[in-house]
Amino acid sequence: MQAAARDDQRDGNRVAVLGHRLAGLEAQTDNSHRAAVGDLLKPERARRLSHLRPRHVNIIHVTGIEGAREARGMVVVIDVLRSFTVSAYALAGGARECRLVKTVAEARALADATPGALLCAEEDALPVEGIPISNSPTMILEQDLQGRVLIQRSTAGTQAVAAVQGGDIFASSLVVATATAQACVLRNPETLTIVASADHPEDHACARYIDAVIRGEHPDLHRLLQPLRGSERYQRALSGIWPGFPTKDLELALVADRFAFAMPVTRESGYLRLTASF
């Protein structure tokens, strides 16, 4: 995972082309090329971070569906592995929007009713029979998403977002962490609730990362992710035996600030709508 750590500085500037650009970059095996790309993007990330100043905001950290139900003020819901990482890659790859639902039945019905929709889903972190695409960023990068709608069902992320009672919601993951923090700061909330959609170390790491950026700090992502790297869950993901989830998902998900957009969530009839917002 050292390669992923070196990639922490990479970012993007255009929603419509980033998926294809990143697919090309991921295919590169020349580490000097990868480092050069990172160096070019460091100034842009530094510029965005410099625009954030410590704000007096009451930040509350909660976990899971119960925590989401109790969320107050502005709400950020995090799912790093892998739902909202998938959403970010889909939007960067040209998807028009993501539509989040709670059940597989709802996902199938919505896909049938949405022309050109692409459906991805998992149940209890396993593939769903009859749905070839899991909530996997690796699989999403292989799809032609230009102008399409991605319909998502997941065990943690989509459930937690649906449980939020308020109206000002962002979905987030590490790849859009600073952009999410910036979007929150610009709205100047009195209270911000950050929801780790599941009690997993990567979701808590992302929550602490966003918290630190809002406070004007420069978080150490490598340190924040240490609990994950020492976990049985990480070893399982790294082993390649987790059905529906390629090991490449880890490298794609465990980088910070790959994209310069946040992902606001709005309520529609029968689903939650997630889009990219600069």
pLDDT tens-place string over residues 138-149: 999 999 999 999
Confidence band (pLDDT; 50, 70, 90) for 166?
Answer: confident
**Residue 167 confidence (pLDDT):** 81
**Given a cut of 80, is residue 5 above it in pLDDT?**
no
Contacts 24+ apart (CB under 8 A), 212-218: 213/49, 213/52, 213/177, 213/178, 213/181, 213/182, 214/52, 214/54, 214/55, 214/57, 214/59, 214/181, 214/184, 214/185, 215/54, 215/55, 216/52, 216/53, 216/54, 218/49
**Residue 38 confidence (pLDDT):** 38
Q: What is the share, in percent, of the chain residues with pLDDT greater than 70?
A: 80
Name which residue leads in pLDDT, 266 or 3: 266
Q: Which of 35-49, 95-109, 229-243 has the lowest mean pLDDT?
A: 35-49
**Residue 10 confidence (pLDDT):** 36
Structure tokens at 121: 């889903």
Show the CA angle centred on residue 198, arms to residues 192 and 199, nearest 5°.
95
Over residues 230-242, mean pLDDT: 92
Confidence band (pLDDT; 50, 70, 90) for 105?
Answer: very high
**Given a cut of 50, is residue 249 above it in pLDDT?**
yes
Over residues 60-81, mean pLDDT: 97
**Residue 66 confidence (pLDDT):** 97
**Three-state secondary structure readout of the chain:** CHHHHHHHHCCCCCHHHHHHHHHHHHHCCCHHHHHHHHHHHHHHHHHHHHCCCCCCCEEEEEEHHHHHHCCCCEEEEECCCCHHHHHHHHHHCCCCEEEEECCHHHHHHHHHHCCCEEEEEEECCEECCCCCCCCCHHHHHCCCCCCCEEEEECCCHHHHHHHCCCCCEEEECHHHHHHHHHHHHHHCCCEEEEEECCCCHHHHHHHHHHHHHHCCCCCCHHHHCHHHHCCHHHHHHHHCCCCCCCCHHHHHHCCCCCCCCEEEEEEECCEEEECCEC
What are the structural domains of the chain?
Answer: 2-274 (3.90.1560.10)
**Residue 43 confidence (pLDDT):** 43
Confidence band (pLDDT; 50, 70, 90) for 177?
Answer: very high
Over residues 251-270, mean pLDDT: 97
**Given a cut of 60, is residue 233 above it in pLDDT?**
yes
**Residue 25 confidence (pLDDT):** 34
CA gap 74, 21 in Å, rounded? 33
pTM for this model (two decimals)? 0.83
Confidence band (pLDDT; 50, 70, 90) for 53?
Answer: low
- Average pLDDT taken over every residue of the chain: 85
Structure tokens at 232: 């049985």
**Residue 34 confidence (pLDDT):** 31
Confidence band (pLDDT; 50, 70, 90) for 51?
Answer: low
**Residue 55 confidence (pLDDT):** 54
CA distances, 175 to each of 86, 135, 210, 231 (Å) = 10, 15, 11, 21
